[in-house]
Structure 1
Amino acid sequence: MKPFSKALVSAIALATAVTAAPLKADPKAEVLHYWTSGGEAKAVKALQEAFAARGGEWVDAPVAGGGGDAQAAVLRARVLAGDPPAAVQIKGPNIQEWAEAGALADLSNVAASQNWDAVLPDAIQNIVKYEGNYVAVPVNVHRVDWIWANPEVLAKVGASVPTTWDEFNATADKLLAAGIIPLAHGGQPWQDATVFETVVLGIGGVDFYRKALVELDMDALGSDTMVKVFDQMRKMRGYVDPDFPGRDWNLATAMVMRGEAAMQIMGDWAKGEFAAAGKMPGKDYICASTPSENGYLLNSDSFAMFNVKGDDLIAGQNLLAELILGTEFQETFNLFKGSIPARTDVSRGAFDDCAIKSMDDMVSAADGGTLLGSMAHEIAQAGAVRGAFIDIATAHFNSDMSSQEAVEKLVKAIKLAQ
């Protein structure tokens, strides 16, 4: 991880450390987030109402745009000014960076009283803990490695959803021959990287994914297996339509919905598009994991609690933490968002078949050690390292670069980014 600026670390050092003593003040919290539209906004409103029902004063601080980039700039400015918000939506290695800089409050008392260790998989605990202590609260789990398929389109070539990459290629070739777009895709760097990491998982396996994309093992990054990954990505490039550059992900989902394309590889936020159109899983569309040996790539949103002064703000943080990981909000939020609860004991009655499959697969992956953080979505890597992966993946996908050249460029880029 790249260190924060000296000015930022100095500003954090001046903040008063938070203690978790019993508090009598009315809870108050300024909440900085970038969930400003659709189901996300509804979910935030539900949390706000739950907070108010417990006597809390919620100060809403939304920052729209940039997938969190605009919010990150606001947060740094606030911390430099010595006035951090009480709760901030951040995720992945960014949580660890803020904790390392001494900016985050210790939520150990709340975590112990609510028994978080018993209901959160280790892979998620590792995201929101720093040096063994909780410093953030996970809101959800998005599975990244999904195939969304139109069963009527697949039936036209006598195919089902592929379970291996060889099957994927064979099915895609049949679809091409029938004049059907095999893969709906949006030509944006993060979407290219999303496909890339599912191919890494499927071609190389769980251990290879962990070595290459998490541990940044140079032998793995420069291996023949990575060459095979780029070989598969070259095939994938041939399965998308000519108009893919710049297409938003939801427009690619709509192509599958309308039968213009057979499949899309995208996280489970795509399910929200099918649901909004009144489509039913198992009937109008199929959800299936991308080919792999029981791997599961997760993306998880969290709220980190920053060091603040004042008993009312500390009480607000504790109440927020309790509510966010409570079973009621975990259900409400994730039904709006299309994701699944971070905790494993939430009732499944209100969730659809795709969500239930994701829950089952997450528990199985957690038990089997195959639950992995997404590189493309800032869980396994963030900042310059993530950027290097995305740059090479998208450069290869959008050019005639050979697989060997891509591997060589990837090794150099990751070395420079660390």
Structure 2
Amino acid sequence: MRMVAVLAVAALLTVSACGSGDERRPAAPDTVEVFTWWAEGGEKAGLDALIDRFGQDCAGQRFENGAVAGGAGVNAKQELTGRMTRKDPPDTFQAHAGAELLDYIDAGQVQDLTSAYDSWGLRQAFPTGLIDDLTVNGKIYSVPANVHRANVVWANPAVLKRAGVSGVPRDLPAFLADLATLKAAGVEAPLALGRDWTQLMVLEAVLISDLGAQRFAGLFTGATPWSGADVAAAIADFGRLVAYGNADRDALDWPQAERLLIDGKAGYQVMGDWEAADLTAKGFTGYSWFTFPGNGATFQWLADSFTLATGAPNPDGTRCWLRTVASPEGQRAFNAAKGSIPARTDVSAAGLSLYQQSAMADWKSATQVPSCAHGSACSQGWQSAVNQALTAWSAARDDTALQAALVTAASRFVR
């Protein structure tokens, strides 16, 4: 990951040199600092495509890269919290659309973009359901660049073939049977796993299989209790899956776990569909994919979005960046490189990958449910509590304690 930001450090050094009590970086009227966690692979390629488009659309504005490396924004969110606390916001920052934005909205750290939606025609370009999910008390605070699918299994067909595994498992028991076959054939890690949030993705997929789409979504609205026997059964199924994973899972980020798949040390990995572009960028084209077994026609969604930060040094330039992000040209360029699909419904699928064409069709027809692991279903505080519970479970393997922690987290954060 080469594009790690040092901007905050530079800003602090500038403040120290000037001896000022104002901790904001000096205003740069022709510069837009874009804060993301897109620092490698398909994510970086997507960002680069947006930068190129921004240069065409926003003459006279200069892009400043604020990328901070770390899967799903773990490191970036920590850095962003510090910058907001010391009143040194970037012009715009990446956040997952949905409940993750509630913390920023409640803190007054992002500005209302409702008028931009009206003037740019975005209410007609984005699906009504997505607009509804983005709206908080009648206002909209971010512009989605894409839609991703979380509940996807990626496979190394060569590993499966050598072990005698064929076809797509139709349900969770069949998936567990295939994992057992891989293990018996000597595959080091039948299921490649990473740390906390990547394990949460697996748990959520299992919950969808065991509870169904409607009851799964109800876990984050209070309609479905976390204390139920069906949740307990899902936790047990989750433990059975993890048993087929790599022992160093808690030390790996998702690209490191992905390397097990590429190197033939794993048969499967549960990961969002950004993996397609990342695998291709790394020269591994011999992969296959399928929806997590038992999820049926359920599309677990997340969306990367951009905000206008309160106190942004260059609000006009930032609005030009946001308009680029929202435009058909920007969405096509970004998603073609990143491997996600446009949030807009008026962008043609022609020329996109087979996976993207398939996902665009599913987005229109499947039952849509949000993801806590990626902020569309739960706030950052809730997500953090669940990840901590999973880290504790990974060490102790106490199913009862995990369910109790999930019940406690829901009691704190359900609105």
Partner of 2:26: none
Partner of 1:399: 396
- Would you say 1:296 and 2:299 are equivalent positions? yes
Structure-2-length-normalised TM-score: 0.81
**1:346 and 1:37 mapped to 2: Cα distance?**
25
- Would you say 1:382 and 2:345 are equivalent positions? no
Q: 238, 254, 262: which one pairs with 1:257?
A: 262
Partner of 2:237: 232
Q: 166, 172, 180: which one pairs with 2:179?
A: 172
Give 3-state SS (helix, strand or coil) of 2:225's partner.
Answer: helix
| 1:328-378 deviations in Å (ceiling 9; x for gaps) | 11121122222222222222123211122211111113xxxx212211122
**2:304 and 2:66 mapped to 1: Cα distance?**
15
Paired residues of 2:92 and 2:312 also in contact (CA < 8 A)? no
Structure-1-length-normalised TM-score: 0.81
- Would you say 1:319 and 2:350 are equivalent positions? no
Q: How many residues align?
A: 381
Q: Cα 1:308–1:259, aligned 2, differ >3 Å: closer, same or farther? A: closer
Partner of 2:146: 140
Paired residues of 1:108 and 1:133 also in contact (CA < 8 A)? yes
Q: Cα 1:161–1:397, aligned 2, differ >3 Å: closer, same or farther? A: farther
Partner of 1:332: 333
What CA RMSD, in Å, does the superposition of the two structures yield over aligned residues? 2.8
Give 3-state SS (helix, strand or coil) of 1:305's partner.
Answer: coil
Paired residues of 2:274 and 2:340 also in contact (CA < 8 A)? yes
**2:330 and 2:80 mapped to 1: Cα distance?**
25
**1:157 and 1:205 mapped to 2: Cα distance?**
30
Paired residues of 1:140 and 1:301 also in contact (CA < 8 A)? yes
**2:331 and 2:80 mapped to 1: Cα distance?**
25
**2:373 and 2:266 mapped to 1: Cα distance?**
24
Matches of residues 97-108 of structure 1 in structure 2 within 5 Å?
A: 97-108=103-114
- Would you say 1:116 and 2:119 are equivalent positions? no
Matches of residues 13-412 of structure 1 in structure 2 within 5 Å?
A: 29-53=32-56, 54-66=58-70, 68=73, 71-72=76-77, 75-76=80-81, 79=84, 84-91=89-96, 92-155=98-161, 156-181=163-188, 183-212=190-219, 214-217=220-223, 220-280=225-285, 284-291=286-293, 292-308=295-311, 313-365=314-366, 370-401=367-398, 403-412=399-408
C-alpha displacement of 1:270:
2.0
Q: Cα 1:170–1:44, aligned 2, differ >3 Å: closer, same or farther? A: closer
**2:176 and 2:242 mapped to 1: Cα distance?**
11
Q: Cα 1:251–1:317, aligned 2, differ >3 Å: closer, same or farther? A: closer
Partner of 1:20: none
Q: Cα 1:409–1:32, aligned 2, differ >3 Å: closer, same or farther? A: closer
Q: Cα 1:395–1:81, aligned 2, differ >3 Å: closer, same or farther? A: closer
**2:386 and 2:392 mapped to 1: Cα distance?**
10
Long gaps (5+) in structure 1: 1-25
**2:329 and 2:353 mapped to 1: Cα distance?**
17
Give 3-state SS (helix, strand or coil) of 1:55's partner.
Answer: coil
- Would you say 1:414 and 2:410 are equivalent positions? yes
Paired residues of 1:136 and 1:303 also in contact (CA < 8 A)? yes
